[in-house]
């Protein structure tokens, strides 16, 4: 492989080529937990590519993103994404974890 060619990360490959559900571009850039949760819920309910129920698919995509970002997430960004998890639970009629 030429040195100037960028090597893809496994997580990027999974995001681009897996059978995971399709997400709206930039969904995780929002500062609003409600907007993130609403977008994930909509994608999970509409995607023909998901392999499990809508709640599990939406929560899995959010968790995958959080884990993929790892230490690079600021505390405030992680807090926003954790609030999006709670919002997803609420939107699907589930109890919050906290």
In a domain, 44, yes or no: yes
Q: Give the domain range for residue 38.
A: 29-91
Report if residue 8 sits inside a domain.
no
Per-10-residue mean pLDDT for the chain, 98 residues long? 58 57 73 94 86 90 90 93 96 85
- The per-residue pLDDT for 51 is 78
Would 3 be classed as within a structural domain? no
- Number of folded domains that form the chain: 1
DSSP string, 11-76: HHHHHHHSSPPP--TTGGG-S-HHHHHHHHHHHHHH-TT-SS-HHHHHHHHHHHHHHHHGGGS-HH
16 φ/ψ angles, rounded to the nearest 5 degrees: -85, -30
**Tokens in use for 93?**
């009629």
Q: Which pLDDT score, from 0 to 100, does residue 8 have?
A: 65
Judge whether 39 lies within some domain.
yes
* Residue 98 belongs to a domain: no
């Amino acid at each position: 492989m030429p040195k100037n060619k960028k090597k893809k990360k496994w997580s990027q490959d999974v995001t681009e080529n897996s059978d995971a559900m399709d997400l709206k571009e930039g969904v995780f850039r929002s500062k609003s937990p409600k907007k993130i949760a609403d977008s994930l819920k909509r994608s999970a309910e509409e995607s023909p590519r998901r392999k499990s129920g809508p709640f599990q698919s939406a929560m899995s995509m959010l968790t995958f993103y959080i884990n993929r970002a790892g230490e690079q997430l600021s505390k405030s960004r992680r807090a926003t994404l954790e609030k999006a998890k709670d919002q997803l639970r609420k939107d699907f009629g589930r109890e919050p974890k906290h």
